[in-house]
Amino acid sequence: MIEELVEILERENVEWELYWEKGRGGSFRIERERLERSQRKFHSGIGLRVGYRGRLGFSYVTGLNYDRKTLEEFVKRTIKLAKVSEVPFVGFPSPTKVPHVGSLYDRRIDEIPFEEAHSLAGEFAARMRELRDDSLTLSGSMALAVSAYGIANSNGVWLEAKGTGMSVSAYAVKKDGKTGSGSYYQTYRSLQPFEELENALLSAIGEAELSYRAGKMEPHSGEILLEPEAFRAVLGIFLENLFGDGVYHGRSRFSRLGEEVAPEGLTVIDDATVPGGVGSFPFDGEGNPGERTLLVEDGVIRSFLLDETYARFLNLRSTGNAVRDFRTTPHIGTSNVMVAPGDENLGDFEGIVVRKVFGEHTANPVSGDFSLTVELGYVVKNGEVVPFRDNMLVGNAFQFLRSVRAIGREIVRKGSFYSPRVLGIARLV
C-alpha cells in the first residue's frame, strides 16, 4: 500500500513525506501479588506531511489497508491542509547513509506466544507471593512489544527498521504502624531472564524498607550527592534549554554554542547509536541518521538538539533528534542521554545522598529553579545509613551544574539515561 501511496503523491506538484508503523504488544498488571489484567494491543497507521509553497500540511490514517480511492482522498486532504496552513515548511532531508545499530531487535520477543508471556507474568506474581509477609504488599507489571516502521519522502529517502522492547516494574508497600514504599522500573530491547524480574522485586523491597525507616531530616545547605535517578531530574531541566526550537524562539537560556555551564569533567552526550539502547535508532522521525552528539564537553556547550526544520532555521545541521509516531508531526527529543564517568570513587561517599525525587515537571526550565520532593535519600556516616524522605531538594539547575565537585566512576542505566553519581551544592528544606 505504501508503494501505491507514493505513486499517487508523485503525480502531485508537492513535496511529501510518509511515516508508517505497525506494532503489537502484550502487557500484564499484577496487583497485590495477583495477576489482575492481561492485554494485547495492536496499532498501525500512516502519517503524511506535505510541503506546498513554504507551508506544511499534515494528516494521518490508522491502519495500513485502504483502497485507492481512500488513499487519493487522504492525499488531497493533506494537500488542502498545506494550502491553508500557517506552519512554515523549509524542506525534507535528502538520502544519507544511516548507521547500523545493533541489538535493537530480539526475535524471542517477536515470536513469543502470548500464552508463554502470560505464564512468565504468572511466575512473576507467584514470586511476589513468596516474598511478601504480613507487613508487605507487592505489585508490578511486565510488557513486551514489537514494532516495524519506515519513512519515505520526495527527495528519495526510503528507510525501514524494526525493534522490540520489554519493560518490568515492581512496587512494594510496607505497613506496620507506619508506611514505607519502594519502586523499580527498567526497560530493555531484549527478553530478560526471570532473575531480572526477581531483581526488580528485591530492589523495590529494599527501598520500601529504607522508606519505612525514613523521616524528615533537618534542613541542610551544602554538598549533596545525587544518585543517577535524582541527577536525571536536575539535568533534564538544563537539557530543555538545548532543544533547537526553544533556542530559535528565544525560550532557551542559551543562544549560542561555546558557553561554559559546568566545571571541566562534566560531559553530556546524546547517543542514538548505543547497541541495545532503549533510546537508540538508526534513523530519526524524518529519516536523518541517528548520531552520537556531544552536547556538553568539559562543561562547555558544543551542540544543540536539532531536527531538520530548526537546524535549517539556525543555519546548523540536524543532529537526528526528530521523534514521532504516525499520529504526530516530528518534534525534538533526546535518544540516550549519557553523562561521562569521572575519576572519583563515590561508592563509599559519606554525607547526604539523594536517590529519588519527583516534581521536576513543575520546574522552570529557563530560570532553572527547582523544588523537588525527596522520595528517598539517606545520610551515610561512619558506615551507618540513616534514610530520610519528604524534604524538598531546592536549588537551581544551572547553579548546581556549575557547583559540581565530583563525578563518580560507575555508570548506572535508568531507561535511556546513563549516569554516575554527581556531587554538587544544593539545599534540603
Query: Which residue has 539535568 as its cell numbers?
Result: 235
The mean pLDDT of 190-216, rounded to a whole number, is: 97
**Closest to 274 in 3D by CA, of 295, 296, 290, 255:** 290
pLDDT score at 398? 98
For residues 253 and 262, what is the distance between their CA atoms, to the nearest angstrom?
14
For residues 307 and 241, what is the distance between their CA atoms, to the nearest angstrom?
15
Question: By three-state DSSP, how is residue 17 classified?
Answer: strand
Q: Do 290 and 335 touch, CB atoms closer than 8 A?
A: yes
The mean pLDDT of 23-28, rounded to a whole number, is: 98
- Whether 185 shows a pLDDT value over 90: the answer reads yes
Q: Is 387 exposed, middle or buried (0-12, 13-18, 19+ CB in 10 A)?
A: buried
| Least confident stretch, 168-172, 283-287, 357-361 | 357-361
What percent of the chain shows pLDDT beyond 70?
100
For residues 308 and 139, what is the distance between their CA atoms, to the nearest angstrom?
43
Cβ of 127: how many Cβ atoms within 10 Å?
19
- Whether 322 shows a pLDDT value over 90: the answer reads yes
Q: Do 128 and 141 touch, CB atoms closer than 8 A?
A: no
The radius of gyration computed from the CA coordinates of the chain, to the nearest angstrom, equals 24
Virtual torsion, Cα 358, 363, 368, 370, nearest 10 deg = -50
Average pLDDT over all residues of the chain: 97
For residues 315 and 317, what is the distance between their CA atoms, to the nearest angstrom?
7
- In eight-state DSSP terms, residue 288 is P
For residues 200 and 186, what is the distance between their CA atoms, to the nearest angstrom?
8
For residues 198 and 184, what is the distance between their CA atoms, to the nearest angstrom?
11
Q: How far apart are the first and last CA of the chain?
A: 60
Q: Which domains does the chain have, with CATH numbers?
A: 2-212 (3.30.2290.10), 216-429 (no CATH)
- Whether 62 shows a pLDDT value over 90: the answer reads yes
Q: What's the pLDDT tens digit per position in 94-133?
A: 999 999 999 999 999 999 999 999 999 999 999 999 999 9
- Whether 71 shows a pLDDT value over 90: the answer reads yes
- Whether 180 shows a pLDDT value over 90: the answer reads yes
Answer left, alpha or beta for residue 230, where phi above 0 means left and psi between -120 and 50 means alpha: alpha
Q: Do 408 and 374 touch, CB atoms closer than 8 A?
A: no
DSSP conformation letters of 99-151: ----SS--HHHHH--HHHHHHHHHHHHHHHHHH--TTEEEEEEEEEEEEEEEE
Q: Do 16 and 8 touch, CB atoms closer than 8 A?
A: no
**Closest to 387 in 3D by CA, of 241, 214, 197:** 214
How are beta strands 136-153 and 15-31 bridged, if at all? Answer: antiparallel
The mean pLDDT of 10-34, rounded to a whole number, is: 97
Angle between helices 2-10 and 68-84 (to 10 degrees): 50
Q: Do 265 and 342 touch, CB atoms closer than 8 A?
A: yes
For residues 202 and 365, what is the distance between their CA atoms, to the nearest angstrom?
35
pLDDT score at 383? 87
For residues 294 and 302, what is the distance between their CA atoms, to the nearest angstrom?
6
The mean pLDDT of 240-263, rounded to a whole number, is: 97
C-alpha cell at 26: 502484550
Phi, psi angle pair for 409, to nearest 5°: -90, -30
Q: For residue 400, what pLDDT band results from cuts at 50, 70 and 90?
A: very high
- Whether 1 shows a pLDDT value over 90: the answer reads no
Angle at 248 between CA 247 and CA 252, to 5 degrees: 25
Phi, psi angle pair for 71, to nearest 5°: -65, -40
- Spatial CB neighbours of 134, under 8 Å, sequence gap ≥ 6: none
